[in-house]
Structure formats: C-alpha cells, structure tokens
Structure 1
Amino acid sequence: MQNVFLTSDHHFGHRHIIDYESRPFEDAEQMNEALIERWNAVVGPKDRVLHLGDFSFLNLEKTRAIVSRLNGSKQLILGNHDRGRSRSWWLDAGFDEVSEYPIVYGGFFLLSHEPMYVNKHMPYVNIHGHIHGQRYASPQYVNVSVELWDYKPVSFETIKASVVPGEEQ
C-alpha cells in the first residue's frame, strides 16, 4: 500500500533559515543531511510525498542530488522561493510532478504553499506551509512546515484524522 505524506519549507542549502526559524542545526550541510535522514525515516520507497513548496536554494546539480536521495515519488507545489525556476527545472531536478498552482486533494483538502482563505462555511481544509513555526487557531488550516513536524513529512492519514470527525489515527 502506498502511503501519502505532506511537507513543506525544507529550504535545502539556505543557511539563513537556521537563524530565521531557530532550526537546531550548526550549518546548511548539517541541516541538509538531517532533513534527508528524517524524510527517509518515515517515507518508504513506494510512498508518495506532496511537497508544498520552498524546497531548495541550491543549483540544479545539488538539488537533483538531494531529490535522488529522498524516498518516494515526489510532487512539488511551487512555493514563493521556488518560482524563480521553471516547472521544467524542477522536473529536471527529479520531481515526478510539479504544479504551479494549489491543488484540491481528496475532494476536501486545498494544498497550497501559502495559506488560502477558507471560512467556517466552506467545506475545505487548507493544508499549507510558508508560515514555518506559526499555526492558525482554526482546524481548517494545517501547517506542514518542517518546523512543526520534527523536520519530517507527516502522513495524510494523520492530518485527516486531526481534522475530520470520526477518523481514527
């Protein structure tokens, strides 16, 4: 069975994110290795990962080297820091699918990099990244930035169980 995971805001190669977000790493190289190790600790080779943006600040060769070390098939929804590169650049880097826009997943979940407006009358949950260690109080928003999930992808089943009444973890 294929498991589905979501994550965002790895910022591979971005040394300043360590200070900006108080990440527990000494430098970008240590951070990169820890993020790869934590990804592979939960994601298997046959699993699927939906990455909600801000993946890498590295060049194509170094980004490709990281993507090739990560378990699972990988889909990228472009984040604000990914948009300076074309969709084909990200495909060349090793992503199986790349979306320039948010997508609806499972008929009920809006997957986006930045939080999208949803209100209590809308039947959607917005799974997003971008705001790193912050959370919205509403259960209609789930932030999958690595800072909130021990720097690991989180399973879709875990998210679904946290927001859909009657779902078990």
Structure 2
Amino acid sequence: MIFFTSDQHFGHEKVLEFDKRPFSSTEQMETEMIARWNRKVKQDDTVYILGDFIWKSDNAAELLRRLNGKKIILKGNHDKWLRKEENREGLEEIKDYDEIFVKLKDGTRRKCILCHYPIHFYNGHYRGSIMLYGHTHTTREEKLVRQYARWLNGLNCPVRMYNVGCMHWEYAPVTLDELLEEGQESAETYIKVLESYRDELFGWARESNCSGFDADMDLTRRRLDELLLCLQQNDMEKAVGYGDFLTELKEDVENRGEILEAIDGIMKMLSVL
C-alpha cells in the first residue's frame, strides 16, 4: 500500500504552537506520531514524505528506523538534516519532485504529482491528475491555495489538490483513497444537513403564510436553495459568493450543533472561514 504525509517537523518545539498541535512537548509529539504511523503503515508499505520531516534530531537514522515502511522523501525547505550522509540511512530515495501512478481500491489508477510546494498548473491537471503537497500547514497561505483552486475550477480549469500535511490527517500518513473519500463524503454529508434545514424552513414558511408572511425566513430559504444548487452543480466560484450569507446563517442557528458543523464544513470547503 502507498501512503503520503508531510511536515512532521520532528524535534521542532515552535511547531507545537504554530499548528496548535495536541502534544505537550516535542518528546510526546515524537512518541505519539511514531505510534500513529506504525498503527497504519506495515513494513512492506511505501510512504512518500513530502518534505519538512525533521527539524532537529541527534539521530535521524534511528528515528527513520523506528518508522514502518519504505520511505521516500521529497525535500522541503526545512530538510537540512539530509545534508549529512549518515542521516540518510533508512531512506529509499531522496527527490525534489515526482510523478507516480497509484492504484485505488476500485482498481483504477490515478496519476499523482508529488512536491513539497503546492503547484496549481501541474502536469496533467486537465487529464485528471492529482496534486499532493505540504508546506502550507494551516496558514493563510493554505487558505489562499484552496481559494485559487476553487477559482480555477470555476473557470473550467480543473485542478485537484490535497494537502497531505500530518496536521490535517490526525498526524499519520494517509492513502489516496482516504484523501478522495474524505472530501466527497464530507461534502455530501454537509449538503444533506443543509437540505434538511431548508425543508424545515419551507415547512415553517407554509405555516406562517396562514398567520402572516415572514419575509426574512423566505429570503433565507431561497438563498439556501441557491447555495445548495451551486454545491450540487459543483459551481464553487458562484458558491463562494455566499460566504456572508453563511456567516449570518450561523448566528440564526447558534443552538443547532449539527447545522453549525455543516455550515463550518461548507465554509472550509469554500475557503471563506
């Protein structure tokens, strides 16, 4: 099986605060991330590490030996530890960039472009290739990467990009199947929740027509209808324009946890949160 990951930053104390990582120290982070890695990855699996693996380590080779699988690293901007030959023990290959084919559970194969840095106009983006990257963590730059990707898709310039940074995937390597399923399943779940709320509003609107028309409720329902149509048609460029509406809607449903979660999920998809 093939896995992907990036930006572990082993030995980097400041990354704990930078990513708001759920560890009390670099020692705990190392122990826990190794455990999570080895629970998923077997010795005969292959892991592509898309950069910034180690910030500081007195024994990088020993750290690599503690991790299951064949490890191929694509260098990031913080991988100075690779300059020492003894630190490279345990690595199958060291690259700056790679293109591979990955077999999915359904038997189909997808071309993946691998680099530490996000590339929007990557090889094969018009032919269904997928860009896997790291580097941007959970920063403003990551938000911009997603916004630009949405904008390009709205212009019929297809791009599929996934940040494989460990902070996005429970601090463990992730498969391509997991990457593809996460985005699709989450979107479908959020849409179903908002469809249910729209139907709820429609029921209230019909009742209110008997005692007096509620213009605000009707406007909310119609705008929600428009947004859902954009999402169902994958018209993300138009859907982004509903960011302010979603912010207002959150205030209206502040005590409805499931709906709030769906709104936050949609806003993250649209990179307007």
The 1:159–1:87 alpha-carbon spacing in structure 2 relative to 1, beyond 3 Å, is farther
Percent identity over the alignment is 31
Q: Matched residues in 1 for 2:162 and 2:170: separation?
A: 15
What TM-score comes out, normalization by structure 1 length?
0.83
Q: CA RMSD in A?
A: 2.5
Paired AA for residue 105 in structure 1: I
What TM-score comes out, normalization by structure 2 length?
0.53
- Kindly indicate whether the alpha-carbon contact (under 8 Å) linking 2:118 and 2:134 is maintained by their aligned counterparts in 1: yes
- Kindly indicate whether the alpha-carbon contact (under 8 Å) linking 1:140 and 1:163 is maintained by their aligned counterparts in 2: no
Residue 104 of structure 1, aligned match among 99, 113, 128: 99
Which structure's residues are more often helix, by fraction?
A: 2
Is 1:142 aligned to 2:140, yes or no? no
Q: Matched residues in 2 for 1:148 and 1:39: separation?
A: 14
Paired AA for residue 173 in structure 2: P
In the TM superposition, what is the alpha-carbon distance from 1:128 to its structure 2 partner?
0.4
Which structure's residues are more often strand, by fraction?
A: 1
Q: Matched residues in 1 for 2:125 and 2:175: separation?
A: 26
- Kindly indicate whether the alpha-carbon contact (under 8 Å) linking 1:8 and 1:55 is maintained by their aligned counterparts in 2: yes
Match of 1:38 in 2: 36
Residue 129 of structure 1, aligned match among 90, 109, 134: 134
Is 1:157 aligned to 2:177, yes or no? yes
Extract structure 1 runs of 4+ deviating beyond 6 A.
none
Mark the runs of 5 or more structure 2 residues left unpaired by the alignment. Answer: 102-109, 150-158, 185-273
Secondary structure at the counterpart of residue 142 of structure 1: strand
Number of residues of Structure 1 aligned to a counterpart in Structure 2:
159
In the TM superposition, what is the alpha-carbon distance from 1:96 to its structure 2 partner?
1.2
Structural mapping, 1:2-151, within 5 Å: 3-59=1-57, 61-83=58-80, 85-86=82-83, 88=85, 90-92=87-89, 94-99=90-95, 101-106=96-101, 108-118=111-121, 122-123=126-127, 124-133=129-138, 134=142, 136=146, 138=149, 140-151=160-171
In the TM superposition, what is the alpha-carbon distance from 1:131 to its structure 2 partner?
1.0
Larger radius of gyration: 2
In the TM superposition, what is the alpha-carbon distance from 1:45 to its structure 2 partner?
1.1
The 1:63–1:11 alpha-carbon spacing in structure 2 relative to 1, beyond 3 Å, is same
In the TM superposition, what is the alpha-carbon distance from 1:66 to its structure 2 partner?
1.0
Match of 2:253 in 1: none
